[in-house]
Structure 1
């Protein structure tokens, strides 16, 4: 069989091109540090690498979301800390105002300090984040959630807590609404008592205290009404039978006990109910305290109203403080959860990186060995072409 010169040239060029292509491919792998430079290098590995890269991108998006959530929760935790400090300061002022030796001017001075605390709390309730959104308005975060009206401070936000997805299976509240923080009490709050604002006598109350939670009437609301006929004073609970009133003697009902001292007037009454059914508005508590402190307490009825309001307000402040602290503990728990999710996401990212490395990264020892081998093959092909090119019958004539 005869082989033409053209055929030899074509075969030699094809061999050199193939050897040079393999050589350059290995060089490209070494330069990029990747075994799979093009999808055609390993289609299955390239396909799996795309899926892993997508999972990495999603995980990074959730990590960015957790940064945003952590910032919002940290700001809320700081505000709740300030609010709890303000409530403690307000309680201190109320205790000071309850001192019977203070004059009306002294109580007015205490009221001025209390009003400053009140204004601080309103400012905290209308706090904004770094983007100008109000923290405690729920999803209505474009305007102040608490507005002043002639009747007091009203909440105009919604009752939703703003949430953010921080992981594939977790959507976390990152900002509690204002009702939850400033207008609620903990579900475990006990009983409270409050005097009727229309009371005209000098009766003051203490309590109530819980005696028996198994009492059939425990958990109900109660109204203690006083009737004065001549020199005889009686009381009834929820319209029940009249019972003789003893100054300072405990009144027991529904597993509770409450002490009333002084001389009630005919028609005076006290209401006793679960705290969740009474005033739960922190701003309303401030307003009640300010109203009684800024008014003179000259008559027996006014002194009794001062004492009764102080007793009620102290309980309300205690309940509001417990509620704020409970919310703050919830915020702390969510911050801890973010730390845990960050740790899990970090391990997940490491696994993705390892998987991606196994799929597309280059084994440099193997690659360099193949690089040298391809270089030798290319040089051999070039040398063979030179030798074959010199084979001609004309050289032997």
Structure 2
């Protein structure tokens, strides 16, 4: 068989190109640090690497989402801290205003301080985040959630039930805020009774309490009303269950004596002062009540003159009701703060889990596509020797000719 010179050149050149290709491939692997540079290098590993990379990107997206959620919740927690301080300050002022030695001017001064607290709470209720979104507006974030009317009263105009949520993990959508109705107009589930005297009372009767004495009483949780009536010159009181509409046994037509402590429906309330026929005092489980309405009533009562026993009794009753409602409001804000803190703790846990998941993905991806440098360097040296050998063989074959034997 005769081998032509062209065949020898082509064979040598093909071998040299193949050796150079293998050499460059290993060099590219060393340069990139990856075993699988092109999908053709290992189709199965490349396919799995794409899936793992997508999972890593999704995990990172959740991590970024958690950062955003944590920032929003941290801002809310900071505002709620200021709100709780404001309510505590208001409660201190209400206790101070209950001092019977204060003059109308003194109470007016306290009312001015209380109005400052009121305005500060209104500002906190309309607080925004760094993007101009109202923290307590719910889904409605393009307008202040709390609006002051022309008569000075404040009402909630945000989304009643809506709460913005964010996907912080594959199976967790977390609320990243609370609507203002929940924060500023809610009461905790365990709130007790709130008593209030009717605005039209003509006597100077005041109340202390009510306090809970037996939550297991069948009537506990119902509403009650203490009403006074004149019976042949004798002032009597009757306690009516406003939930059922029936008079409470043992508390019908009882002669009133100042300082009496009444017990009914698992409650105890002490009455002081001189009542008049037609006066009423109502008691009911605490219901949603705006903190702004509570403060508005207290400010109005403090600014009103107290020249008569009736006015002084009305003031004391208003302050007593305000104090109980402020306690409920503070408890509610603290409950919301606890919820925010729990969500922040959950984000920390999710961050820890997400970090471990990312580490696992990175390890899996490394096993699929990363380079074994020791083996690659050995292959690089081997390919280099092979390339040099093919080049030397090509030079030797190039020099072979019959003319050299003539």
User: What TM-score do the two structures reach when normalised by structure 1?
Assistant: 0.97
Q: What pairs up with 1:24-173 in 2 under 5 angstroms?
A: 24-149=24-149, 150=151, 152-159=153-160, 160-173=162-175
Q: What pairs up with 1:1-397 in 2 under 5 angstroms?
A: 1-149=1-149, 150=151, 152-159=153-160, 160-238=162-240, 240=247, 241-276=252-287, 280-397=289-406
Unpaired runs of 5+ residues, structure 2, are: 241-245
How far does the alpha carbon of each residue in 1:56-114 deviate from its partner, in whole angstroms, 9 at most, with x for none? Answer: 11111111111111111111111101011111111111111100000001100100000
Rounded to whole Å, the distance in 1 between the matches of 2:235 and 2:218 is: 28
How far does the alpha carbon of each residue in 1:109-147 deviate from its partner, in whole angstroms, 9 at most, with x for none? Answer: 100000000000000000111111111000101100000
Rounded to whole Å, the distance in 1 between the matches of 2:94 and 2:82 is: 18
How far does the alpha carbon of each residue in 1:145-168 deviate from its partner, in whole angstroms, 9 at most, with x for none? Answer: 000112611100012111111111
**1:210 Cα deviation after fit:** 1.5
**1:244 Cα deviation after fit:** 2.0
SS of residue paired to 1:371 = helix
Alignment length (residue pairs): 395
SS of residue paired to 2:102 = coil
**1:382 Cα deviation after fit:** 1.2
Rounded to whole Å, the distance in 2 between the matches of 1:244 and 1:257 is: 17
SS of residue paired to 1:267 = coil
Rounded to whole Å, the distance in 2 between the matches of 1:245 and 1:151 is: 39
Rounded to whole Å, the distance in 2 between the matches of 1:305 and 1:387 is: 119
SS of residue paired to 1:199 = coil
2:243: which partner in 1? none
**1:230 Cα deviation after fit:** 4.8
**1:228 Cα deviation after fit:** 2.0
Rounded to whole Å, the distance in 1 between the matches of 2:338 and 2:378 is: 61
Bigger Cα displacement from structure 2, 113-122 vs 60-69: 60-69
Rounded to whole Å, the distance in 1 between the matches of 2:133 and 2:212 is: 44
Rounded to whole Å, the distance in 1 between the matches of 2:222 and 2:286 is: 11
Rounded to whole Å, the distance in 2 between the matches of 1:52 and 1:346 is: 15
How far does the alpha carbon of each residue in 1:152-195 deviate from its partner, in whole angstroms, 9 at most, with x for none? Answer: 11100012111111111111111100001000000110111111
SS of residue paired to 2:176 = strand
User: What TM-score do the two structures reach when normalised by structure 2?
Assistant: 0.95
SS of residue paired to 1:53 = helix
**1:224 Cα deviation after fit:** 1.1
| C-alpha RMSD of the superposition | 1.1
How far does the alpha carbon of each residue in 1:235-269 deviate from its partner, in whole angstroms, 9 at most, with x for none? Answer: 11225232222221111211111111111111110
SS of residue paired to 1:200 = coil
SS of residue paired to 1:176 = coil
Rounded to whole Å, the distance in 1 between the matches of 2:88 and 2:268 is: 27
